[in-house]
Amino acid sequence: MTRNAIHTDLAPAAIGAYSQAVQHGDTVYLSGQIPLDPATMELVSGPVHDQVHRIFDNLAAVCTAAGGSLSDIVKLTVYLTDLGNFPIVNEVMAEYFEPPYPARAAIGVVTLPKGAEVEVEGVMALPKTGS
Protein backbone atom coordinates (compact mmCIF):
# COMPACT_ATOMS: atom_id res chain seq x y z
CA MET A 1 0.00 0.00 0.00
CA THR A 2 1.42 3.39 -0.95
CA ARG A 3 1.31 6.70 0.84
CA ASN A 4 -0.03 9.69 -1.06
CA ALA A 5 0.66 13.29 -0.12
CA ILE A 6 -2.39 15.54 -0.20
CA HIS A 7 -2.10 19.19 -1.22
CA THR A 8 -4.51 22.02 -1.94
CA ASP A 9 -3.94 25.72 -2.53
CA LEU A 10 -7.15 26.34 -0.54
CA ALA A 11 -5.25 25.62 2.69
CA PRO A 12 -1.94 27.07 3.86
CA ALA A 13 1.16 25.59 2.28
CA ALA A 14 3.33 23.49 4.55
CA ILE A 15 5.89 25.67 6.34
CA GLY A 16 8.38 22.86 6.84
CA ALA A 17 9.29 19.36 5.78
CA TYR A 18 5.79 17.87 5.93
CA SER A 19 2.62 17.43 3.84
CA GLN A 20 -0.76 19.03 4.48
CA ALA A 21 -1.98 15.45 4.81
CA VAL A 22 -0.91 11.93 3.94
CA GLN A 23 -3.26 9.19 2.78
CA HIS A 24 -2.49 5.57 3.55
CA GLY A 25 -5.24 3.26 2.38
CA ASP A 26 -8.59 4.68 3.48
CA THR A 27 -6.99 6.71 6.30
CA VAL A 28 -5.84 10.30 5.92
CA TYR A 29 -3.57 11.87 8.52
CA LEU A 30 -4.19 15.63 8.59
CA SER A 31 -1.26 17.78 9.65
CA GLY A 32 -1.85 20.40 12.29
CA GLN A 33 -3.48 23.59 11.05
CA ILE A 34 -2.98 26.95 12.68
CA PRO A 35 -5.11 29.98 11.74
CA LEU A 36 -3.15 30.91 8.62
CA ASP A 37 -4.93 32.59 5.75
CA PRO A 38 -3.93 30.45 2.75
CA ALA A 39 -3.83 33.49 0.43
CA THR A 40 -1.43 35.54 2.57
CA MET A 41 0.18 32.90 4.81
CA GLU A 42 -0.40 35.34 7.68
CA LEU A 43 -2.09 34.49 10.98
CA VAL A 44 -5.72 35.56 11.19
CA SER A 45 -5.93 38.38 13.68
CA GLY A 46 -8.84 38.94 16.00
CA PRO A 47 -10.61 36.83 18.57
CA VAL A 48 -9.81 33.16 19.10
CA HIS A 49 -13.31 32.39 17.76
CA ASP A 50 -12.26 33.74 14.32
CA GLN A 51 -8.96 31.88 14.50
CA VAL A 52 -10.66 28.55 15.18
CA HIS A 53 -13.03 29.13 12.25
CA ARG A 54 -10.01 29.63 9.98
CA ILE A 55 -8.46 26.41 11.28
CA PHE A 56 -11.58 24.35 10.53
CA ASP A 57 -11.94 26.00 7.10
CA ASN A 58 -8.33 25.00 6.39
CA LEU A 59 -8.94 21.45 7.59
CA ALA A 60 -12.11 21.25 5.48
CA ALA A 61 -10.13 22.26 2.37
CA VAL A 62 -7.55 19.53 2.98
CA CYS A 63 -10.30 16.97 3.65
CA THR A 64 -11.94 17.87 0.34
CA ALA A 65 -8.62 17.59 -1.51
CA ALA A 66 -8.27 14.08 -0.06
CA GLY A 67 -11.75 13.05 -1.22
CA GLY A 68 -13.55 13.41 2.10
CA SER A 69 -15.09 16.02 4.35
CA LEU A 70 -14.98 17.13 7.96
CA SER A 71 -17.72 14.59 8.69
CA ASP A 72 -15.22 11.83 7.87
CA ILE A 73 -12.82 12.92 10.64
CA VAL A 74 -12.68 10.30 13.38
CA LYS A 75 -10.07 11.90 15.68
CA LEU A 76 -8.94 15.44 16.44
CA THR A 77 -6.14 16.72 18.62
CA VAL A 78 -6.41 20.33 19.73
CA TYR A 79 -3.38 22.21 21.03
CA LEU A 80 -4.04 25.40 22.99
CA THR A 81 -1.67 27.92 24.53
CA ASP A 82 -4.51 28.82 26.91
CA LEU A 83 -6.86 26.03 27.97
CA GLY A 84 -9.30 28.78 28.98
CA ASN A 85 -10.09 29.02 25.25
CA PHE A 86 -11.31 25.43 25.14
CA PRO A 87 -15.01 26.43 25.43
CA ILE A 88 -14.55 28.57 22.30
CA VAL A 89 -13.15 25.56 20.44
CA ASN A 90 -16.21 23.54 21.53
CA GLU A 91 -18.55 26.30 20.37
CA VAL A 92 -16.96 26.53 16.93
CA MET A 93 -16.70 22.73 16.56
CA ALA A 94 -20.46 22.50 17.05
CA GLU A 95 -20.83 24.66 13.93
CA TYR A 96 -18.71 22.30 11.81
CA PHE A 97 -19.54 18.83 13.18
CA GLU A 98 -22.65 16.84 13.98
CA PRO A 99 -23.03 13.81 16.25
CA PRO A 100 -21.41 11.44 16.41
CA TYR A 101 -18.56 13.89 17.01
CA PRO A 102 -14.98 12.82 16.39
CA ALA A 103 -12.92 11.52 19.27
CA ARG A 104 -10.79 14.36 20.59
CA ALA A 105 -7.95 15.30 22.89
CA ALA A 106 -7.09 18.80 24.07
CA ILE A 107 -3.56 19.58 25.13
CA GLY A 108 -2.21 22.72 26.76
CA VAL A 109 1.12 23.83 25.29
CA VAL A 110 3.49 26.70 25.96
CA THR A 111 3.87 27.83 22.36
CA LEU A 112 2.79 27.01 18.81
CA PRO A 113 4.25 27.83 15.37
CA LYS A 114 4.16 31.50 14.35
CA GLY A 115 2.77 32.43 17.78
CA ALA A 116 -0.63 30.84 17.09
CA GLU A 117 -2.97 30.29 20.03
CA VAL A 118 -4.61 27.12 18.64
CA GLU A 119 -3.59 24.25 16.39
CA VAL A 120 -5.74 21.28 15.34
CA GLU A 121 -4.71 18.03 13.65
CA GLY A 122 -6.85 15.07 12.75
CA VAL A 123 -7.34 11.61 11.32
CA MET A 124 -9.93 11.03 8.62
CA ALA A 125 -11.40 7.70 7.48
CA LEU A 126 -12.45 8.01 3.85
CA PRO A 127 -15.78 6.52 2.89
CA LYS A 128 -15.57 3.22 1.03
CA THR A 129 -16.28 3.54 -2.66
CA GLY A 130 -17.63 0.76 -4.83
CA SER A 131 -17.16 -2.93 -4.12
What are the boundaries of each domain within the chain?
A: 3-125
pLDDT of 129 above 60 = yes
How far is Cα of residue 62 from the mean position of the Cα atoms in its chain? Answer: 8
**In the CATH hierarchy, which fold is given to the domain comprising 3-125?**
60s Ribosomal Protein L30; Chain: A; (3.30.1330)
Asked whether the beta carbons of 91 and 78 are under 8 A apart, the reply is no
Would residue 46 be called left, alpha or beta, if left means φ above 0 and alpha means ψ between -120 and 50 degrees? Answer: left
Q: How far apart are CA 101 and CA 98, in angstroms?
A: 6
At residue 131 the predicted structure's pLDDT band, cuts being 50, 70 and 90, is very low
Q: Containing H/E element for 53?
A: helix 48-65
The predicted structure's pLDDT at residue 109: 98
Which residues are bridge partners to 106 per DSSP? Answer: 78
Beta strands in the chain (DSSP E): 3-6, 21-24, 27-33, 73-80, 103-108, 118-125
Residue 60, SS3?
helix
Q: The whole model's pTM is what?
A: 0.94
pLDDT of 39 above 90 = yes
Asked whether the beta carbons of 70 and 60 are under 8 A apart, the reply is yes
Compare 130 and 126 and report the one with higher pLDDT.
126
Mean pLDDT of 75-102: 97
Per-residue model confidence as pLDDT tens digits over 50-61: 999 999 999 999
